[in-house]
Structure 1
Amino acid sequence: MKNSEQFWKKSVLKFNSSIQEAISNLNNSGLKIVLVVNHKDEFIGTISDGDIRRGLLANLNINDSIKKIINYEALVVPPEFDKKSALKLMELNQIFQVPIINNKKNIVGLFLRHSITIENERNNIMVIMAGGIGKRLLPHTENCPKPMLEVSGKPILEHIIERAKSEGFLNFIISINYLGEMIESYFGNGKKLGVNINYIREKKPLGTAGALSLLNLKTKEPFIVSNGDVITDISYAELLDFHSKNNSIATMAVNLYEWQNPYGVVRLDGVDIRGFEEKPINRTHINAGVYALSNSALSFLEKDCHCDMPKLFEQLMESSQKVIAYPMHEPWLDVGRSADLNKANKKI
Structure 2
Amino acid sequence: MHAVILAGGKGTRLRPYTTCVPKPLVPIGDTYSILEIVLHQLRAHGFARVTLAVGHMGHLIRAFVGDGSRYGLNVDYTDEVTPLGTIGPVLNLLGSLPETFLIMNGDVLTNLDYGAFLKRHAQGSAPVTVATYRREIRSEFGVLDVDESGERIVAFREKPSVPFQVSMGVYAMTRETLRRYEPGQVLGFDTLMLDLLDSGELPGSDLFGGYWLDIGRPEDYDTANEQWSTMQHVLLPHMNLSAAD
Give the 3-state SS of the residue equivalent to 1:300 in structure 2: coil
Q: Which amino acid aligns with 1:310?
A: D
Runs of 5+ in structure 2 lacking a partner?
229-245
Report the counterpart of residue 161 of structure 1 in structure 2.
39
Would the aligned equivalents of 2:143 and 2:160 in 1 still touch at CA under 8 Å? yes
Would the aligned equivalents of 2:2 and 2:98 in 1 still touch at CA under 8 Å? no
**Distance of 1:184 and 1:248 partners within structure 2:** 34
Runs of 5+ in structure 1 lacking a partner?
1-123
Q: How big is each residue's C-alpha offset from its partner over 1:302-348, in whole Å with a ceiling of 9 and x where there is no partner? A: 21122111211222333333421111212111101111101011112
* Higher RCO structure, 1 or 2 (CA under 8 Å, sep 6+): 2
Q: Which amino acid aligns with 2:15?
A: L
Q: Which amino acid aligns with 2:10?
A: I
Q: 2:66 aligns with which of 174, 183, 188?
A: 188
Would the aligned equivalents of 1:300 and 1:315 in 2 still touch at CA under 8 Å? no
**Distance of 1:222 and 1:216 partners within structure 2:** 10
**Distance of 1:218 and 1:141 partners within structure 2:** 31
Q: Which amino acid aligns with 1:199?
A: Y
Report the counterpart of residue 292 of structure 1 in structure 2.
172
Q: 1:228 aligns with which of 106, 109, 119?
A: 106
Q: Report the CA distance between 1:218 and its aligned residue.
A: 3.9
Give the 3-state SS of the residue equivalent to 1:284 in structure 2: strand
Report the counterpart of residue 142 of structure 1 in structure 2.
19
Q: Report the CA distance between 1:241 and its aligned residue.
A: 2.2
Paired residues for 1:295-314 under 5 Å: 295-314=175-194
Would the aligned equivalents of 1:300 and 1:312 in 2 still touch at CA under 8 Å? no
1:279 lines up with 2:156 in the alignment: no
Q: Report the CA distance between 1:300 and its aligned residue.
A: 2.7
Paired residues for 1:1-348 under 5 Å: 124-152=1-29, 153-218=31-96, 220-270=98-148, 271-348=151-228
**Distance of 2:224 and 2:56 partners within structure 1:** 22
Would the aligned equivalents of 1:300 and 1:316 in 2 still touch at CA under 8 Å? no
Q: Which segment is superposed worse, 197-206 or 179-188?
A: 197-206
Q: Which amino acid aligns with 1:283?
A: P
Q: How many residues matched?
A: 225
Q: Which amino acid aligns with 2:168?
A: A
**Distance of 2:24 and 2:96 partners within structure 1:** 27
**Distance of 1:220 and 1:147 partners within structure 2:** 25
Would the aligned equivalents of 2:4 and 2:104 in 1 still touch at CA under 8 Å? yes
> How big is the alpha-carbon RMSD for the aligned residues of Structure 1 and Structure 2?
1.4
TM-score, normalising length: structure 1: 0.62
Would the aligned equivalents of 2:108 and 2:215 in 1 still touch at CA under 8 Å? yes
Give the 3-state SS of the residue equivalent to 1:208 in structure 2: coil
Report the counterpart of residue 93 of structure 1 in structure 2.
none
**Distance of 2:128 and 2:167 partners within structure 1:** 13
Whose Rg is larger?
Answer: 1
Q: How big is each residue's C-alpha offset from its partner over 1:11-61, in whole Å with a ceiling of 9 and x where there is no partner? A: xxxxxxxxxxxxxxxxxxxxxxxxxxxxxxxxxxxxxxxxxxxxxxxxxxx
Q: Which amino acid aligns with 2:8?
A: G
